[in-house]
Structure 1
Amino acid sequence: MGSFCRDENVAHFVAYASLVFREFSGRVVSWATFNEPSVSMFSGYLAGLYPPGRMFAFTTAGRYLKNVLAAHVDAYKAMKALPGGDRARVGLVVHDITFVPRRRWYMHSRWIANWMTYWWGRDVVLDFMMTGQYEWRVPGRGVRVKYSNPGGRPPCDWLGINYYTRCVVGWRLNATHMPGEVMTDMPYPVYPRGLYNAIKKLSVLGIPMYITETGIADRLDDRRKEWIRGYTRQIMEAINDGFDVRGFMYWTLVDNLEWNFGYKYRFGLYRWDPDVGGVDRQLRESAKVLRYVYQTWPSDLQTMRDYAKRLSSFEEGEPEGGSRKGWKWRALS
């Protein structure tokens, strides 16, 4: 059928979204039209990792992403027009990732990093959601795909942010890290500050934000505790600074099939061996830190904001002797 590379397929998606909404609107309040549209675009049409497995199909990739965004707009309107639509909150989930050169004077690495950031699509999607204007550029060829949403700025009730890291490009165009950074099992480093930066940048839309995915591949479970402390601290800081963050979801509960990587990378709070199968799942030690975070954080928005403000006045670190109060701060830092 040509997926979203064909304009006429937008209507098929809208019909599907309408059908699902009619069936489940009585049980679902918050809806996401798409999850990470730029990832399927990049992986399917530029990197050859996902179906249809094409590489460097730049113009087709731009057309694909344009139609996904147009489908979001049309699906939003269709769902809102159905019975129960006035109660529904319809949003979009984006993937936030940037690339930087290992050294700023690596000109070839900088060129690749800039284009990789562009191809992953965050800024293209953000520009469209802000203005209704879509432009897709191709190296050496300028703007190849343009679109203007007839209704101006697209509607969206909330934004989901999937954030994992900031990628570093080395001299050999290899994935690496900056001095002092710790690598995950996947080829990118732990970079908590990037989560705050993502929240800040995407807050320009002026709608509630949810951290819908963030996590770490850590088979040995020797970095996840510090990951949790670092990333949750950035969320608390963002809330204290006034950004409208409403929720945080860890990826993921149980070791999962990680797309084209299979079961190689272990993101789960529960360890699961696919070779053994069955229902035997073992809670990783690091999960206890996240469990404490969830148990401690308030469940309503205003109390959470007050809580973040109160925590911001604490000094970082655990007092000598390791009191529970100090550990509580570290669990949230």
Structure 2
Amino acid sequence: MNDKIAAPQSELPGAELDTALLRPDFLWGVSTSSYQIEGAAHEDGRGLSIWDVFCRQKGRIANGDTGDIACDHYHRYAEDIALMRDMGVRAYRFSTAWPRLLPRGRGAANEQGFAFYDRLIDRLLEARIEPWLCLYHWDLPQSLDDLGGWTNRDIAGWFADYAALVAQRYGDRVKHFATFNEPSVSTLFGYALGWNAPGIADKSSYYKAAHHLNLAHGAAVDAIRDLRPSALIGAIHNRQPVLPESGKPENAHAAALLDAHWNLLFPEPQSFAAYPALIAHEMEPSQKAGDMARICRRLDWFGVNHYSPIYARADAASQLGFAWGKPPASAQQTGAGWSIHPDAFRDVLIAAWRRYGLPIYVTENGSGGNDAPDATGAIADKARIDYLRAYTHAMGEAIRAGADIRGYFVWSLLDNFEWGAGFTNRFGLVHVDFKTLRRTPKASARWYAGLIRPTRKD
């Protein structure tokens, strides 16, 4: 069951987006990812992912939460599409689960898994919602991790084979494909810092993983174009200004290093066939002749995920030369503890457009907190509305400055499994009761519906 999305709430303080700035075909959407919402982790032939294993390691995830059930989107996708339709969104960005389609990461395909995404895509199209398909949102098949995962150069070929299967099956209905979501997070947190699956903290493994992921990107672009020449292909990157925690000179250098790892390590070689200068020497041992040409491939759009600035400080004990810093005590923060700085969002969008020269889609932006129903069952998440209002207004300022921005996707449609935070951090426009799985649109869902409605031409 879910509640219909009622008329939008009116008049809250703050600047509104001038929708006259938007293109007639501007896309309003929502984003999710497979492991965070699907559940059905042990059903219909799905193989294990690295997150299935990581979640069962003591102390890794808040409250010992797992994605075994998550939002049960696998069984409730029709209900979730109805929520999107009621909200008026025109596009849904989701990821396919590699281990659901190829339980061992390669070899025999799982028809039951492929059939699930057939049903999802067909139902989206019936609702007049464009499916945007991301090939990788961190859930690597455990069988491939057993072979070295992203530290094994052969994974570029394995990923290309997976991309080819997906493009062949769905490319008649899906026009927009993303190779990777936030590769800086999956590699830095997964292989250097040990915070995310597979939980490795080794400098050498990290640089190998990063280079091989870039090779996989290029190989996947080629595989999709060979099968679906009209496909529109992009990649999705974190773009967040990195600021020093304090004015110490060593913290400024730490911020420059984190910027190279966080913002540049993937889009620079993918667009310009070169690694960022500060860490290029670290990447050399993994490279072979011709690699940079294999990585750098023509793309059709550039995905920007942005939430807030991030902060760095020097740390002599860190193998990478920096540690995560804290925002200023005076900074306004979301319920998740991330600083609120819409001007940074505006500047990021302008800079990405000028640097990469591709149409920009905001593929993630949103605000986390601890939303809970009140005594009447309503979820009045005013803080999220204020955040989204400020950030969409900032997007409008970037468009006014000349940035070619063609769409905006809120993270996320649903409260979901938020990685190390488990179910404690809620980003959804729709509240999920994780005991009953009941969906309840929040006030922000009604606000977003109101923002979208005047811009729809159909």
Q: Is the contact made by 1:89 and 1:157 (CA closer than 8 Å) also made in structure 2?
A: yes
In structure 2, what is the Cα distance between the partners aligned to 1:152 and 1:76?
9
The alpha-carbon distance between structure 1 residues 205 and 111, as it changes in their structure 2 partners (threshold 3 A), is closer
**Offset at residue 238 of structure 1 (A):** 1.5
Query: Identity of counterpart residues, as a percentage?
Result: 26
1:96: which partner in 2? 239
TM-score norm. by structure 2 comes to 0.59
2:176 partner amino acid: S
Establish whether residue 45 from structure 1 lines up as the match of residue 205 from structure 2: no
Deviations 1:110-132 (Å, cap 9, x if unpaired)?
34433333332x12223213321
Q: Which runs of 4+ in 1 moved over 6 A?
A: 170-174
SS of alignment partner, residue 177 of structure 2: strand
After superposition, the Cα gap between the structure-2 partners of 1:187 and 1:107, relative to the gap in structure 1 and judged at 3 Å, is farther
Instruction: Tell me the residue number matched to 2:225.
Output: 80
Residue 124 (str. 1) matches residue 255 (str. 2): no
RMSD: 2.5
Aligned amino acid, residue 157 of structure 2: A
2:357 paired residue number: 206
Hey, what does 2:35 align to over in structure 1? none
Q: Which residue of 2 aligns with 1:287?
A: 445
2:182 counterpart residue number: 36
For 1:133-172, what aligned pairs fall within 5 Å after superposition? 133-134=274-275, 143-146=281-284, 147=287, 148-150=291-293, 153-169=296-312
The correspondence for 1:260, drawn from 420, 432, 446, is 420
Equivalent residue runs for 1:294-333 within 5 Å = 294-297=452-455
Aligned partner (choices 206, 219, 223) of residue 61 of structure 1 = 206
Q: 1: distance between equivalents of 2:265 and 2:330?
A: 31
Separation in structure 1 between the aligned mates of residue 260 and residue 365 of structure 2, nearest angstrom: 21
With over 3 angstroms needed to count, the CA separation of the structure-2 counterparts of 1:199 and 1:43, relative to structure 1, is same
Match of 2:436 among 277, 285, 295: 277
CA distances 1:42-76 after superposition (whole Å, capped 9, x unpaired):
11112211222112x22321221111111111111
How far does the alpha carbon of each residue in 1:144-167 deviate from its partner, in whole angstroms, 9 at most, with x for none? 213452368422111111111102
Judged with a 3 Å threshold, the aligned counterparts in structure 2 of structure 1 residues 165 and 136 are, in CA distance, closer, same or farther, namely same
Cα contact 1:18–1:75 (8 A) shared by 2: yes
Q: What is the deviation of 1:226?
A: 1.4
Greater mean alpha carbon deviation, residues 217-226 or residues 23-32? 217-226
What CA deviation, in whole Å up to 9, does each residue of 1:167-205 have, x standing for no partner?
245899775434653111223211112222221222122
* Residues 157-236 of structure 1: pairs in structure 2 closer than 5 A: 157-169=300-312, 175-178=325-328, 181-203=331-353, 204-220=355-371, 221-236=381-396
In the other structure, the counterpart of 2:117 is: none
Q: Match of 2:199, SS?
A: coil
Q: Distance in 2 between matches of 1:209 and 1:152?
A: 20
With CA pairs under 8 Å and 6+ residues apart, which has the higher RCO, 1 or 2?
2
Given the superposition, is the C-alpha separation of residues 152 and 6 from structure 1 closer, same or farther in structure 2, using an over 3 Å criterion? closer
Q: Which structure 2 segments of 5+ residues have no match? A: 1-146, 316-322, 372-380
| Alpha-carbon spacing, 1:151–1:108, altered in 2? closer, same or farther (3 Å) | closer
Alpha carbons of 1:152 and 1:228: their partners in 2 closer, same or farther (altered >3 Å)? Answer: closer
* Counterpart residue number, 1:240: 400
2:330 and 2:388 map into 1 onto residues whose CA distance is 18
Per the alignment, do residues 211 and 174 of structure 1 end up closer, same or farther by CA in structure 2, a change over 3 Å counting? closer
| 5+ residue gaps, structure 1 | 301-333
Aligned partner of residue 181 in structure 1, secondary structure: coil
**How many pairs align?**
290
Go from structure 1 to structure 2 and tell me whether the alpha carbon gap of 1:47 and 1:60 turns closer, same or farther (over 3 Å shift).
same
SS in 2 for 1:92: strand
TM-score by length of 1: 0.79
Equivalent-residue separation in structure 2 for 1:61 and 1:151 (angstroms): 20
Return the letter of the residue paired with 1:11.
G
The answer to whether the aligner puts 1:12 opposite 2:158 as a matched pair is yes
Q: Which residue of 1 aligns with 2:66?
A: none
Q: Which residue of 2 aligns with 1:324?
A: none
Q: Quick one: structure 1 residues 131 and 170, their matched pair in 2 at CA, closer, same or farther if it must change by over 3 Å? A: closer
Residue 110, structure 1, aligned to residue 260, structure 2: no
Q: Which amino acid letter does the alignment assign opposite residue 127 of structure 1?
A: E
> C-alpha distance in 1, partners of 2:313/2:281?
28
Retained in 1: the 8 A contact 2:264–2:276? no
